[in-house]
Amino acid sequence: MAQHRLIARSLAQPAARVAARSPRRAHLRAFFAMSAVGLFATAALAAPVRAQEAPGASQPKRVSLASVMTGEGGGVAATATSDFMQETATVRVTVHNSTPSPVEVEIPYGSLFAPEQESQQTVVTAGPNTVEAAVARTTGTPTLTAPPGDSSHELMAFCGEEFDRSPRAAVPVSYRGVAKEPLPKVMHNIFASDTDARTAQEAVWWVTDRPMLPITDTGVERLLDGVDTAGFAAAPTKVVPSESYTPQWAGGNGAVLGPRGVDGAAGSVPVGLITVVLACTIGLVLLVLFFVRRKPVMGHAVARSSSGPIGQVGQHGPFGSPTSGSARPPGWYADPWSRGLRFWDGANWTDARSSEPGGM
């Protein structure tokens, strides 16, 4: 009997130990699971905090072109020069970045740069030359990245005033803000396309100086996509704010749009041609008036010869006188070559002349 109790006790002890150990293992599993979840959550929350604490490590600081050109870029300043080569233009921006990290400078579409001399070209830019067209189609405002220290960057540029002269060498230029629409839209189209420089320049001049319809160049028409060309041609506005320059559509630089220039029925008419036509017209009018004023004198000469043989002339030369070979009788007639009277001998004029109406 005692032996049976011993066996039962030996069997019950391991079961009791297992029962006591199971809740402990469950608690451990739950603890480890919660710890893992807490670690993942902490890592996820800490990532944005680290990004905010160290912006230079994730993305460069971004400043505007206006701020760096005016020295208000927070340790970033810039100067610019404009250089013309045949029909293209380039704006070279030199950036001094005194911060320890790279800085992105925003270059809005249609940014304007002007030299000190008002007679020289104001240029309009379309962003850095290094940015590909595919990037321009997917991003907003173009940017250039300036590393710490000094760096030089070229901007794609075009003439914004067709009839102002281009400097022969690089000249300092200052930032003049952003052009008015629709020029920034056109600059974006240029920046996002693979067009040639000449076609792009013609599209710019269509907006700044020659808004005429129809647009015969398909390349220019493509660059004007998104622009209300009909409305702008009917009522053009000055998109480059320069007080010293008058666009062609407003009569600037010796050329004005024709009377139907905005609908393309006529092109530009040079003022010089208008002056020549006007001078010729005035000359013809004066010539006609000269001959008209001569007629009363002729009539007066004939009227003076109404008495005597003078009034009997039939076939007349100048001033109502007989011509050589006339069968008129001899007598005094009006001198065909000068004022007064000359004697007609019946066949020819003689040298006898008289200033008196009655003859000699």
Q: What does the domain layout of the chain look like in residue ranges?
A: 61-245, 275-354
Q: Hey, what are 266's tokens?
A: 């006529």
How high is the pLDDT of residue 338? Answer: 79
How high is the pLDDT of residue 299? Answer: 38
How high is the pLDDT of residue 83? Answer: 82
For residue 65, count other CB atoms closer than 10 A to its CB: 26
Residue 267 backbone dihedrals phi, psi, to 5 degrees: -95, -155
Decide if 128 contacts 156 (C-beta within 8 A).
yes
pLDDT tens digit at each of 360 positions of the chain: 455 454 445 544 554 454 455 555 555 565 555 565 455 555 555 555 444 444 444 578 899 999 999 988 889 999 999 887 655 688 999 999 999 999 999 999 999 999 988 888 899 997 787 765 566 666 678 888 999 999 999 998 998 988 887 777 788 999 999 999 999 999 999 988 888 889 999 999 999 999 999 999 999 999 999 999 999 999 999 999 888 888 989 887 655 454 434 433 344 444 455 666 677 788 788 877 776 665 444 433 333 443 344 433 334 444 444 555 456 788 888 888 877 888 888 888 898 888 765 444
pTM of the model: 0.56
Residue 18 backbone dihedrals phi, psi, to 5 degrees: -65, -45
CB-based contacts of 334, cutoff 8 Å, min separation 6: 301, 302, 304, 305, 310, 319, 320, 321, 341, 342
How high is the pLDDT of residue 293? Answer: 60
Specify the 3-state DSSP secondary structure of 135.
helix
Q: Hey, what are 44's tokens?
A: 């996820």
How high is the pLDDT of residue 141? Answer: 85
Gap between the Cα atoms of 126 and 117, Å rounded: 23
How high is the pLDDT of residue 53? Answer: 46
Q: Identify the helix (H) or strand (E) that includes residue 106.
A: strand 103-106
Name beta bridge partners: 188: none
How high is the pLDDT of residue 314? Answer: 39
How high is the pLDDT of residue 176? Answer: 92
How high is the pLDDT of residue 137? Answer: 66
Helices (H) and strands (E) in the chain, counts: 9, 14
Gap between the Cα atoms of 207 and 220, Å rounded: 11
Whole-number Cα distances in Å, 319 to 291, 312, 356:
15, 14, 16
Gap between the Cα atoms of 91 and 65, Å rounded: 13
Gap between the Cα atoms of 353 and 306, Å rounded: 18
How high is the pLDDT of residue 164? Answer: 83
- Helix, strand, coil distribution of the chain in percent, nearest 5: 40, 25, 35
